[in-house]
Amino acid sequence: MKAKLLVILLIGLFVLVNAAYRVTEVNQAIITQFGEPVGTPVTEPGLHFKIPFIQVANMFEKRFLEWDGFPNQMPTRDRRFIWVDTYARWRITDPLLFFQRLRDERGAQSRLDDILDGETRNAVARHDLIEIVRTSNRNPVDTTIAGESETDGETLEPIDTGRDQITREILDAATDAVAQLGIELLDLRFKRINYIPDVQQDVFARMIAERQRIASEFRSEGQGESARIQGERERDLAQIQSEAFRTSEELRGTADAEATGIYAESYGQDAAFYAFTKSLETYERTMDPSTVFILGTDSELLRFLETPR
């Protein structure tokens, strides 16, 4: 008797467990019977019940879900082929419609691939490349060389639309399509935009050449400024040296004049003594043991030698 009661309790517990299901704050449920949905979606958190073994609770997320597209090669309106990589965020707003059209998240991801990739390709084809990579008509970084006029600087072509507006166009176009699937599309953004490999190297080469041109202009301007400074330095140095030489010559001339005056005043007191001392200086400069002089007796050079005082 106890064994039968235990078996009945176990069977009842098994049926109760199969009949009960729990809905949390982050999910919602659709009850299906033999694969077909019955009733309305269960969105309230808590413990709920269904017919055991016949009905199945299918759970779906309430939170934001991620869609990450594959990079695709797309042509722009100006016939530039680029790689475009996008991502989006979405959520399930009508779980019953979502289940009927897509069954599960895997089916939703596949359907979003078709819709979002298609709308992205259409939007890219309607705009030029410059509108896709820029967001506004902001001023570029100033690379104008000093001394150039403002018209010589680099200017960007103005745009009517920008990247943000293009993503909004994609989002608006895809919203109506995904609404029929029980999905709300929250946001879509470009993750990456790049040239295809065949064009990328040429673009990099043009960018490098342009930067080198600007660097060459800066370098040329610097060399010109260096030459100007060097010329001014040499001119100032020559002027300083000239002034110093002139001053030194003036001082030397003044000193020589003063010395001559002193000598003249000293020697003027005794002309014979002056003649005698100058003759001695001449003897000292001209006569040495290795020099032989042949002079006449009437030579003025021997006057003080042959007539000593």
Examine the pLDDT at 151 and tell me if it is beyond 50.
Answer: no
Residues 38, 92: Cα–Cα separation, whole Å: 18
Check: CB of residue 166 under 8 Å from CB of residue 136: no
For the chain, the average pLDDT equals 85
Per-residue model confidence (pLDDT) at position 308: 53
pLDDT in tens, 274-293: 777 777 777 777 777 777 76
- For 217-247, how does the pLDDT look when each residue is reduced to its tens digit (9 = 90+)? 999 999 999 999 999 999 999 999 999 999 9
Classified by CATH at the fold level, domain 65-195 comes out as: Tetrahydropterin Synthase; Chain A (3.30.479)
Q: Which contacts (CB < 8 Å, 24+ apart) does range 76-79 have? A: 76/124, 76/125, 76/127, 76/128, 76/129, 76/132, 77/125, 77/126, 77/127, 77/128, 78/128, 78/129
Note the pLDDT tens digit of each residue in 243-273. Answer: 999 999 999 999 988 888 887 777 777 677 7
pLDDT band per the 50, 70, 90 thresholds, residue 27 = very high
What is the average pLDDT across 27-55?
92
Q: What is the pLDDT of residue 229?
A: 94
State residue 154's pLDDT score: 55
Between 210 and 280, residue with greater pLDDT: 210
The stretch 284-307 carries a mean pLDDT of: 68
The model's confidence at residue 137, banded by pLDDT at 50, 70 and 90, is confident
What is the arrangement of strands in the sheet containing 27-33, beginning at the earlier edge strand?
36-42, 27-33, 55-61
Q: Which residues face 89 on adjacent strands?
A: 66, 187
Least confidently predicted of 13-27, 85-99, 198-212, 287-301: 287-301
pLDDT of residue 214: 92
Q: Where are the domains of the chain?
A: 2-61, 65-195
- Could you report the per-residue pLDDT of 163-198, keeping only the tens digit for each? 999 999 999 999 989 999 999 999 999 999 988 887
Distance between CA 34 and CA 55 in Å, rounded?
A: 7
Secondary structure letter of residue 78 according to DSSP? T
As beta bridge partners, residue 66 has 89
